[in-house]
Chain A
Amino acid sequence: MKDKVDLSVNLGSLHLKNPVMPASGTFDIRDTLLNMRELNSLGAIITKSIASRRREGNPGPRVWETDGGMINAVGVPGEGVEYFKEHILPLLEEANDTIIVSMVGDSIVDFCALAKKLDNFEKISALEINLSCPNLNNGLYFGVNKDVLGDLIYQLKKSTQKIIIAKLSPNVTDITEMALTAQEAGADILTIANTFLGMAIDPEKQIPRLGNKVGGISGPAIRPIIVRMIWETSQKVKIPLIGVGGITCAQDALEMFLAGASAVQIGCANFSNPYVMLEVIQGIKEYLLRKKYSSLLDIIGLVHKNHF
């Protein structure tokens, strides 16, 4: 039996040494238990969404555990892009050679100005677009309106040379339509998907559990829906997919590869187990060895072939 297995994967021109990275917002380079060697062993590091200026975030409570997951309305707090450049980017550069910056804006103009700025930072490998925020100009969420989504990505591609990853919202009737729109507009990679909009209420106090009233649901409960979305989308688009939603172990990640994802992100499982990403990398490796594959590429989308 071979003891070497290749976990590397190319998502278009984005090369990853392995397919495991954190989901945006669940990992902070300033607040991680991982040491330098461990940080460097991740496929990539994705930042919390960066905005053009300081954002305060939502009032508390911002998180609440639900059955099989959690609901959050953190509200993308952050110090803004200048602070990021000065204080966070240097730490990231030291930690991993593939840095993906998640970015958020409140209008297409705002998004594009931010992308132009980030375009100058050489060490950033790609930009992931957080579409789960309202467009201040017309009140529509970027991620749930096809025209707004297409327009934003088209404009962004004109503003930056960086690889554009569109993180789609699952809160739509047919995610494949949004995926096709993003692809046509020039997105290089798709992340499937962001959190599901939900709500939790305290029956005793008779008020919402979250300060923001509604929030995004993540965790194991949503994973089968995400796997289905990856399976459907990978049949329709040509660009690579990153799967995210409820992964807590290698088995969960493997479902997404088999459904057609080329890489995965791990979100709220990091909270409970800060070493979960390393365990997932190891688990994928062991699976491939046990099944006698030489490369991760051998299993990506395999369910489509085995299905019929």
Chain B
Amino acid sequence: MEAYENKPLLVKGKIRKHKLISNNYGEMVIEAPQIAKRAKPGQFVMLSRWQIKNLLLKRPFSFYQINPQEGRFTILYKIVGKGTEILSNSKIGDEIELIGPCGNGFLLPKEANRIALVARGIGIATLLPLAQEASNRGIEIYSFLSAREKSLLLGRDSLESLSFHTFYTTDDGSKGRKGKVTYFLEELLKENKVNFEAVYTCGSKRLAQHIQELQQKFHFFSYVSLEERMGCGIGACKGCVIRTCHGYQRVCKEGPVFPLEEVMFYER
């Protein structure tokens, strides 16, 4: 059987910090040393702050910040349903149950000089720890952030501070350019000003499809982090599949990070 050490763990964690951000978002620091020590950028954790009789399934959350020394990690969440509603009412010191770290993280090319991060809305969550790791390795980061409006450009200060250059687009023009975030990426690639060893994206399937189109033209390597409705988070239930050129693959097990060119988005 596969190495037992690589399997996710079921552990109890404690909420150490929690704040609600505007427009139904929250940021939570969780203490769970066994998970924080093994967590890698791009991986996620299954979380419940409720009894199984009240709400059946755990919910997946990407690692937003990872602090192995302190045994803590941060999640960024949007209140969308019952689970995140309960989560938003959490107090400091509350106990939560976790399964993690789950899934495969991002790969950084061995000899990378420059990468691009393209996020829409809460998609920034999983890209921030990647930016941290890339920055530690001296890799130059170009960030492209997109949201409906300025206040939804979450975590932009943290990412901007790690980036060589940050481009903004909003649907209403309240920050940066109005329109598609891939506009800037395309302009850079077109003028052949910079080239990226890899482009990483998360937060919107439509956005990922635009990057796929750019891939056809400019031939760069790209990874996408995907989400799907999940049952178990460890591969057992086969619930969270997406269509790829290898057939259906599980977001929780083969993913959540996939080579972008392998993903087929046209299926609902």
Residues in A lying within 8 Å of B, measured CB to CB: 25-28, 30-33, 35-36, 48, 56-57, 59-65, 68-70, 72, 74, 77, 91, 94, 207, 211, 219-220, 248, 268-276
Contacts and interface: CB of A to CB of B under 8 A. Distances in A.
Given A30-B235, A274-B234, A60 B56 contact: no
Contacts of B267: 59-60
Contact of A31 (B235, B240, B248, B268): B235
A65 to B, nearest CB: 5
B81 to A, nearest CB: 8
B26 interface: no
A57 B56 contact: no
B206 to A, nearest CB: 15
A69 B56 contact: yes
A19 to B, nearest CB: 21
B234 A31 contact: yes
21 contacts: A26-B236, A28-B238, A31-B234, A33-B8, A33-B9, A35-B4, A60-B228, A60-B229, A60-B267, A63-B239, A70-B56, A70-B57, A72-B231, A77-B248, A220-B52, A220-B56, A248-B53, A271-B231, A271-B237, A272-B57, A273-B97
Given A248-B52, A272-B57, A28 B235 contact: yes
A32 B99 CA distance: 12
Contacts of A59: 241, 243, 248, 267-268
Most chain B CB atoms below 10 A, which of A25, A35, A274: A274
A219 B237 contact: no
Majority secondary structure, B binding face: loop
A61 B237 contact: no
A63 B240 contact: yes
A104 to B, nearest CB: 14
B52 A272 contact: yes
A69 B52 CA distance: 10
Contacts of B4: 35
Given A60-B243, A62-B229, A271-B57, 11 more contacts: A26-B236, A28-B236, A31-B232, A33-B8, A33-B234, A56-B248, A59-B241, A62-B240, A77-B238, A91-B1, A272-B56
B231 A33 contact: no
Interface string B59-98: 0000000000000000000000000000000000000010
Contact of A74 (B2, B48, B230, B238): B238
B10 A275 contact: yes
Contacts of B247: 56
A60 B232 CA distance: 15
Contacts of B229: 60-64
Contact of A274 (B2, B10, B48, B230): B10
